[in-house]
Amino acid sequence: MYQIYQEINKQLNKALNTAFAKEALAAKKAGESLNPQLMPASKPDFGDFQVNGALTLAKKIKQPPRQIAELIVIQLQKNKEFNNLCYPPTIAGPGFINITIKNDCLCQELLRRLNDKQLGVPLVKSNDQTKELKPIIVDFSSPNIAKEMHVGHLRSTIIGDSIARVLSFRGYQVLRLNHVGDWGTQFGMLITYLKLVIPEALTTPNLINIGDLVDFYRKAKKRFDEDEYFQKCSREEVVNLQQGKQESLKAWKLLCEQSRQEFQKIYDRLDIELCERGESFYNPFLRNVVKDLEKLGLLVEDEGAKCVFLENIRGKEGKPFPLIIQKSDGGFNYATTDLAAIRYRLQCHPNGDGAERIIYVTDSGQSNHFSSVFQVAKRAQWIPKECKVEHVPFGLVQGEDGKKLKTRSGETVRLKELLDEAVERAKIDIEKRLHEESREETEDFIHNVSTTIGIGAVKYADLSQNRTTNYQFSFDRMLSLQGNTAPYLLYALVRIAGINRKGGNLGTTEKSLKYNQPGEWRLIRELLKFDEVILAVEEELLPNRLCSYLFELSQEFNRFYDQIPVLKAKEPERSSRLVLCQLTRDILKKGLSLLGISTLERM
């Protein structure tokens, strides 16, 4: 309830300052600005909000907290604007102040959000109204060329996509970057093998596809590990590629294009939009990274390699840990590329993206790498004070045995096969239910529902977990109609769609609302939390906060639906309850879309 929250916060701070102005000595002893510590109530029975500041302040000024709370309440009751918004506050325990918003204020806010495309979520505004907001970059997915996307890429892809969607919804200009692994020593190996076994691929378009290319990569790697002459040729091809030799570049582009086509099939299935900008994009800037770090006196040569020794990070022997910028053979590595990327992304146009925030979504195993890169970039003063770079780490996907998710043969689970199985399992379940209900549906209906449920279930199962932890992948759990799952949320939407089909007008312009049931007020309060949740996701970059909210909203709606008549109610209760159905539908649909999940009218 962001707008109301802000109003209460303002009024409380004003009242608190007034109260303690009369206690000048006490305020002086406090030694700091007053903080009411306003937060949502710990239990619905306590009201909407509670103020805990009296307890903290009591310790500072050596007065009983309940006495301080009483002074605050007296001042609040003298405040006309506060009284228009809230019922008289109460004091609980040693000095907690409980606040409940008036019912008519809740109804006004409900109607405001009903006709608001943002559903109460404020659009971000630039501090300088004469300038546009700077972009936010979300760097996610990042598969490697010549390798199929696996389950690890799933987490980066859908977490990054959800974060990008939430930021876009708030009004930010979001640049979704796919930092594809399209450069490096492995391409020397691949180009050498391509020239050796399929030389005609360089002259015949579309001769190989990704299926062949994955197997092709394995065979090339095996040859590289076993054949010294092949290794020598591969290293020479790396040099040829770096020097821009046309034949090597042509082979590289062919390999990249074949991978890109197969990646796009996955992105289309997952409804993911990305702007590809691979490692190769930053190649022209790598030498300047080395040159400028040398000028700044940060670069040190160690055993032939050029490094920056990190502060507060030490190796096994207690020595400062080095971040290698240029290897002893003159080559560059991931750190060099990532430093070049930071510089480009934060620099203003036309020499960069002019971003104010960069968000990297990768597995937690890369946390040390990014911490090191960020430290060097900050020490080089390549990150302006007003800009922020953040690593958004995530844990492993595990099987139900608690071990890293793999196939029965011990291989990494391919993302394509995982999605296929999810859709197939959803289809089997749907066909079983249709048979039990003696209900006939078209193949198109079954295909659409099974695809929506299968893909949505996979996404939601991942996003509903705290991304910082590992989670256990289970088709049975994620496809269940019970519990915190996508099918459960989709079913709540289907119920609302059924109300609409049965004659409920879910496009109301009702201006007068009447509620008298506790279940109605519980649902209303849940609906008005949406903006607060979105703002929290923006700040914390934890999509599971949104999932938890949508699940709680669905639970509250289902209780309302089961206990309180809607279509059979008389006016004005009928129209008022349809408003609750309409806003629940709108928030669930918007919330699921921010998670990248499609919705259904029928299941």
- pLDDT tens figures, 264-279: 999 999 999 999 999 9
Q: What is the pLDDT, as a whole number, of residue 242?
A: 81
Q: Is the pLDDT of residue 409 over 80?
A: no
Confidence of residue 130 (pLDDT cuts 50, 70, 90): low
| Radius of gyration from C-alpha coordinates of the chain | 29
List the chain domain ranges: 2-101, 103-121+481-603, 186-272, 282-394, 408-479
CA nearest 196: which of 167, 216, 218, 169? 216
The yes-or-no verdict on residue 25 having pLDDT over 50 is no
CA pair distance 320, 375, nearest whole angstrom = 13
pLDDT for 316 equals 73
Instruction: Sort strands 96-99 and 49-51 into parallel, antiparallel or unpaired.
Output: antiparallel
Torsion region of 459: left, alpha or beta (phi above 0 gives left; psi -120 to 50 gives alpha): alpha
Taking the model in full, what pTM does it have? 0.92
Q: Output the CATH code of domain 103-121+481-603.
A: 1.10.730.10
Say yes or no: do domains 2-101 and 282-394 share a fold: no
**What is residue 22's predicted lDDT score, i.e. its pLDDT?**
56
Indicate the SS3 state at residue 414.
strand
Supply the pLDDT for residue 318. Answer: 75
pLDDT greater at residue 14 or residue 73: 73
Higher pLDDT, 129 or 554: 554
Q: Does residue 578 have a pLDDT over 90?
A: yes
Whole-angstrom Cα distance, residue 464 to residue 459?
A: 8
Whole-angstrom distance, CA of residue 418 vs CA of residue 457? 12
Fold of 282-394: Rossmann fold (3.40.50)
pLDDT at 531 over 90: yes
pLDDT bin (cut points 50, 70, 90) of residue 431 is: very high
CA gap 4, 105 in Å, rounded:
9
Question: 325-375: per-residue pLDDT in tens?
Answer: 998 888 888 999 999 999 999 998 788 999 999 999 999 999 999 999 999
Helix, strand, coil shares, percent, the chain, to 5: 55, 10, 35
238-264 pLDDT, tens digit per residue, is 889 888 899 999 999 989 988 898 899
Where residue 428 falls (left for φ over 0; alpha for ψ -120 to 50; beta otherwise) is alpha
Neighbours of 447 (CB within 10 A): 13
For position 2, what pLDDT does the model report?
57
Q: What is the mean pLDDT of residues 490-513?
A: 85
Sign of CA dihedral 147, 150, 155, 158: positive
- Counting residues of the chain whose pLDDT is more than 90, the rounded percentage is 64
According to the model, what pLDDT value does residue 510 have? Answer: 64
Spatial distance between the Cα atoms of 30 and 503, rounded to a whole number of angstroms? 61
Which tokens sit at 531? 């903006």
Q: Write phi, then psi, for 144 (nearest 5 degrees).
A: -105, 140
596 and 272 Cβ atoms separated by less than 8 Å: yes
Find the range with the poorest average confidence among 37-51, 249-263, 287-301. Answer: 37-51
- Domain boundaries 2-101, corresponding CATH code: 3.30.1360.70
